[in-house]
Amino acid sequence: MSQLIAEHVSKTYDGARGPVHALSEVSVRIGQGDFVVALGASGCGKSTLLSLLAGFQTPSSGRVSVDGVAVTGPGSDRGVVFQDDALFPWLTVLDNAAFGLTLRGIPSQQRRERAKEMLALVGLSAFAQHRINEISGGMRQRVGLARALTANPFFLLLDEPLGALDALTREQMQTLILDIWQKSGTGMFLITHSIEEAVMMSTELLIFSPRPGRIVSRHYFDFARRYAAGESARSIKQDPAFSQARSLILEHIIAQTEAV
Ligand SMILES: Nc1ncnc2c1ncn2[C@@H]1O[C@H](COP(=O)(O)OP(=O)(O)O)[C@@H](O)[C@H]1O
Ligand SMILES: [Mg+2]
């Protein structure tokens, strides 16, 4: 089982008006099968942490590693999905999904087979030949997920992938991502602004606070595992334990805002 680890990671940017301490002494451990969710106001360094985990940037201090090997750049062991996923509008859904493997020199037939499997996983088999501008926002996010999954990553890093979706589509995407997590055994790192989403999906929930961005508390929940074990999302959300967890997290978030 692979582990993606950040140890005492800090990041300072050279801002136009002096240094910006985006992250301070953040440690996080994402094992395959874990679902780590980052929650917090804008500007508390969540995307910075994700980019360090992805290897898009390097920390100013501290270390990011996979199974003890330092991360020095992006790798096929880590898939990334953003809110506005950069899909190619002139390519079909299938070709977009297969694109994740194009750069790796994998033969085209193999690429398409793998992409088809992933489109089936995200429920888009019927749309394989559609162009991106012919499908909805929720479907585009599913193409982004399929593309990230074609390389068979050990970890998926998701930066507010559901932020732009309407409420109903968002709930459907939440359970789809949980299904993918359960089937693939991937280690997940998800950034969200939604308390309900964070509580429902996390095995470990990290609450961030700004200036400098840091983790102020960690909470461990079993709702995602209950869903993975077969309980319906509706039944979980109706459990009083779920509302209690939501209230607890809300109180922590309010305490954070008041402390700033
Ligand atoms: N490339 C950059 N250069 C300078 N400052 C940056 C850069 N990227 C992010 N920041 C700053 O770092 C802080 C954290 O940003 P970010 O990680 O995007 O937070 P979040 O995702 O939680 O909203 C913010 O103050 C932001 O303005
Ligand atoms: Mg962000």
Say how many Å lie between the CA of residue 134 and the centre of ligand 1. 33
* Among the ranges given (23-37, 61-75, 79-93), the one the predictor scored with the smallest mean pLDDT: 79-93
Say how many Å lie between the CA of residue 35 and the centre of ligand 2. 18
> Does ligand 1 have an atom closer than 6 angstroms to the CB of 15?
yes
The Cα 162–Cα 147 span in angstroms is 16
Residue type, position 62, single letter? G
Among the bound ligands, name the one nearest to the CA of residue 39: 1
Q: Which atom of ligand 1 lies closest to the CA of 14?
A: 4
> Does ligand 1 have an atom closer than 6 angstroms to the CB of 44?
yes
In the numeric block, which tokens belong to residue 235?
């039944």
Express each pLDDT in 174-213 by its tens digit: 999 999 999 999 999 999 999 999 999 999 999 999 889 9
> Does ligand 1 have an atom closer than 6 angstroms to the CB of 38?
no
Mean pLDDT taken over the chain: 93
Residues around the ion ligand 2 (C-beta < 5 A): 47
DSSP-assigned letters across all residues of 13-70: EEETTEEEEEEEEEEEEEETT-EEEEE--TTSSHHHHHHHHHTSS--SEEEEEETTEE
Residue having the nearest C-alpha atom to atom 24 of ligand 1: 43
> Does ligand 1 have an atom closer than 6 angstroms to the CB of 66?
no
Query: Is pTM, for the whole model, over 0.75?
Result: yes
> Does ligand 1 have an atom closer than 6 angstroms to the CB of 11?
no
Enumerate residues 6+ apart whose C-beta is below 8 A from 235: none
The Cα 173–Cα 139 span in angstroms is 9
More confident residue, 186 or 107: 186
Say how many Å lie between the CA of residue 109 and the centre of ligand 2. 36
Say how many Å lie between the CA of residue 65 and the centre of ligand 1. 22
The Cα 141–Cα 149 span in angstroms is 12
> Does ligand 1 have an atom closer than 6 angstroms to the CB of 43?
yes
* pLDDT of residue 104 exceeding 90: no
Strands 61-66 and 3-15: antiparallel
Place of tokens 């606070």: 209
Question: Residue 259's pLDDT band (boundaries 50, 70, 90)?
Answer: low
> Does ligand 1 have an atom closer than 6 angstroms to the CB of 207?
no
Query: Closest by alpha carbon to 193, among 154, 161, 157?
Result: 161
Question: Residue 103's pLDDT band (boundaries 50, 70, 90)?
Answer: low
Place of tokens 């679902």: 35
**How many of the other CB atoms lie within 10 Å of CB of 130?**
15
For residue 102, give Cα distances in angstroms to 9, 122, 152.
32, 20, 14
Query: 154 by DSSP, 3-state: which?
Result: coil
